[in-house]
A = this chain, B = another copy of it.
Amino acid sequence: MYRTHTCGELRSTNIGIEVMLAGWVQTVRKFGSITFIDLRDRYGITQLLFGEELNDQLNENALGREFVLQVNGTVSERSSKNANLPTGDIEIKVSSFSVLNRSVTPPFTIQDDTDGGDDLRMKFRYLDLRRHEVKKNIELRYAVNRAARNYLHENNFMDIETPFLIKSTPEGARDFVVPSRMNAGQFYALPQSPQTFKQLLMVSGYDRYYQIVKCFRDEDLRADRQPEFTQIDCEMSFVEQEDILNMFEGLIKYIFKQVKGIDYSETLERMTWEDAMWNYGNDKPDIRFEMKIANLKSAFKKDGEIIATGELIHGAGFGVFDNAETVVAIAVPGCSEYTRKQIDELTEWVKRPQIGMQGMVNIRCNADETFKSSIDKFYSAEKLKSIASFAKARAGDLILILAGTEERTRKAISELRLELGQRLGFRKNNEFKLLWVLDFPLFEYSEEDNRWVARHHPFTAPKPSDIGTMINNNPVIENPADYLKHPYANIKANAYDMVLNGNEVGGGSIRIFQRELQEKMFTALGMSKDEALHKFGFLLGAFEYGAPPHGGIAFGFDRLCAIIGGSEGIRDFIAFPKNNAGRDMMLDAPSTIDEKQLKELSIQLTVQ
């Protein structure tokens, strides 16, 4: 036995008892002949008091930061208490100690405000994980994991493991593959998700399945993407969209309650994909703040109707607006008195290549209800007032207007809205706003291949009312320029995303469960019958033996934890993450392997 208590456990009620503690030396403070040491473990910090009688022994064993120590002693009342520490009322009067292991000086300090840079912290991840800042993330991750499992268990879901060595069916992202030694020339693939397996489990009658499971995608890594990531993966049978929304609204609320103590009592807002695109410029709106987009002019249609005709801005002779496909505005609250310099800086911001605008128009809605704008020359005060009213601006607001091509401009105003929301403190880390985004298009158009691609994945069902449209039309696009006129362009998916603070944290759909419709889907995606059979024959086969209606959802576990933890960076919520080049800096992996290994796998390198 190495300890009787942890370093976070002892209180003034324990005063007088003999204890044995073990942990790491956080700090050593010498005051003349007595020495104080803060001893740290996973549970907390306890102050140790080494009296004069241990001085000789301490001098022989100079204790440094991160040494592993075991001490025997008596719990005593502190003379100067530390109200910030749960153990701050007591200290251990040490009677004997032993050094369990020594430590060289760590490459960075094991503190919240460490002096270690990112690369160093990743290389010495086992030391970085000691820091309280990182530890609380890992603990939060476990708390979310535990809460999710408990909720799903209570609701009759079963954790069923699906295989990791499966078949490569590249569709969308690239697969990681694993050469098979026993089947020379053949490869397994690592799953991008357990999608087809969970559907097969539904066919098998396991009507509520879940798994917290690793998935793999061999994609070029953007910041904050990992080649391996974790999903809370769920599927249910005999359900419609409404059943799923209710079940997983319950899950997220349970997690908030258990992990953060937050009663998220209001019903989650629901928004159609069109409304999200229309009002926020993207499909995962951050609704912690308003600043909705005012569409002054747009080629974007809502329910087949063009909403913003441009009547407010047309005919004033301002070429930028007259010639633009799209003109959109946001009213920034309380910023009418931004300086010229501030506005210039914002203009530069939207002109950066990542945003790609040519310029930005502004209208100051002054406190005295007058207006001052960069386009005064073209628009009368009355016109400006109408624009301001349309943009829902109030006195004191600053209206910012972008103009250009539809897609880029909408994306730009969305980015600008988020940037200003951030700068103005509207995007609080400790405020949580959830919503469902619904009614996504089933298909997107791939210009490269002049065919349809699945917006979600090939197993997502169309809305029941659109099944006829899908079955009864030829998916081939005769005229690429007119693809929007193809009936498939209007098919809506029975799909849903859960959005938290402007991040998609979960997504799913009701699935196709009839062979005929699934085959039509594969055809629509340009897959030949043979290809479909080769890749997904097992699923098509399964649909012939009594497949029940079913649907599901998958949550991005890494991101969900990060956002609940008040961060947007997922890496510090993963114990051993990889860097943006897909490397594990600590292990130095990937690495070369032996010629013998290659030979056994019947492969050779084409590079040296």
Residues of A within 8 A of B (CB): 1-3, 22, 24-25, 40-42, 66-68, 100-104, 106, 124-127, 129-130, 135, 138-139, 141-142, 145-146, 149, 153, 158-168, 170, 174-190, 197, 200-201, 203-207, 214, 216, 218, 220-221, 227-228, 230, 238-240, 242-243, 513-514, 537-538, 541-549, 574-576, 578, 581-584, 586-594, 597, 599-608
User: How far apart sit A84 and B512, CA to CA, in the bound complex (Å)?
Assistant: 37
User: How far apart sit A334 and B22, CA to CA, in the bound complex (Å)?
Assistant: 57
In the complex, the count of this chain's copies comes to: 2
Find out whether the CB atom of B238 lies under 8 angstroms from the CB atom of A589: no
Find out whether the CB atom of B592 lies under 8 angstroms from the CB atom of A187: yes
A53 CB, nearest partner CB in chain B, Å: 26
Specify the chain B residue showing the minimal Cβ separation from A577.
Answer: B163
Find out whether the CB atom of A581 lies under 8 angstroms from the CB atom of B163: no
Specify the chain B residue showing the minimal Cβ separation from A24.
Answer: B546
Most buried by B among A141, A168, A238: A238
User: How far apart sit A141 and B124, CA to CA, in the bound complex (Å)?
Assistant: 37
Find out whether the CB atom of B2 lies under 8 angstroms from the CB atom of A168: no
Q: Which of B161, B177, B594, B605 contacts A602 (CB 8 A)?
A: B605
Besides the known contacts A42-B206, A125-B200, A135-B205, 4 further A-B residue pairs in the complex with CB atoms under 8 A apart: A104-B545, A168-B591, A187-B591, A200-B586
Find out whether the CB atom of A204 lies under 8 angstroms from the CB atom of B130: yes
User: How far apart sit A41 and B546, CA to CA, in the bound complex (Å)?
Assistant: 12
Q: When A and B form their complex, which 6 residue pairs have the shortest distance between CB atoms, in order from nearest?
A: A167-B589, A103-B546, A129-B204, A2-B238, A186-B590, A66-B546
Q: Which of B126, B513, B583, B594 contacts A545 (CB 8 A)?
A: B126
User: How far apart sit A92 and B258, CA to CA, in the bound complex (Å)?
Assistant: 41
23 of the cross-chain contacts (CB-CB < 8 Å) are: A3-B238, A42-B206, A101-B549, A102-B546, A104-B545, A126-B201, A126-B542, A130-B204, A138-B158, A162-B575, A163-B584, A167-B584, A167-B590, A168-B589, A170-B594, A170-B597, A175-B597, A180-B582, A182-B582, A187-B590, A187-B591, A189-B593, A599-B606
Specify the chain B residue showing the minimal Cβ separation from A129.
Answer: B204
Find out whether the CB atom of B182 lies under 8 angstroms from the CB atom of A581: yes
Q: Which of B68, B161, B239, B549 contacts A548 (CB 8 A)?
A: B68
Contacts A161-B214, A542-B126, A607-B602; A182 near B575 (Cβ below 8 A): no
Hey, which chain B residues are within 8 Å of A538, CB to CB? 126, 586-588
Hey, which chain B residues are within 8 Å of A606, CB to CB? 599, 602-604
Q: Which of B1, B183, B243 contacts A590 (CB 8 A)?
A: B183
Specify the chain B residue showing the minimal Cβ separation from A599.
Answer: B606
User: How far apart sit A208 and B191, CA to CA, in the bound complex (Å)?
Assistant: 29
User: How far apart sit A101 and B594, CA to CA, in the bound complex (Å)?
Assistant: 53
Hey, which chain B residues are within 8 Å of A607, CB to CB? 184-185, 602
Specify the chain B residue showing the minimal Cβ separation from A543.
Answer: B101
Find out whether the CB atom of B164 lies under 8 angstroms from the CB atom of A214: yes
A586 CB, nearest partner CB in chain B, Å: 5
Hey, which chain B residues are within 8 Å of A146, CB to CB? 153, 159
User: How far apart sit A411 and B240, CA to CA, in the bound complex (Å)?
Assistant: 59
User: How far apart sit A175 and B135, CA to CA, in the bound complex (Å)?
Assistant: 31
Hey, which chain B residues are within 8 Å of A130, CB to CB? 204-205
A306 CB, nearest partner CB in chain B, Å: 38
User: How far apart sit A230 and B547, CA to CA, in the bound complex (Å)?
Assistant: 29
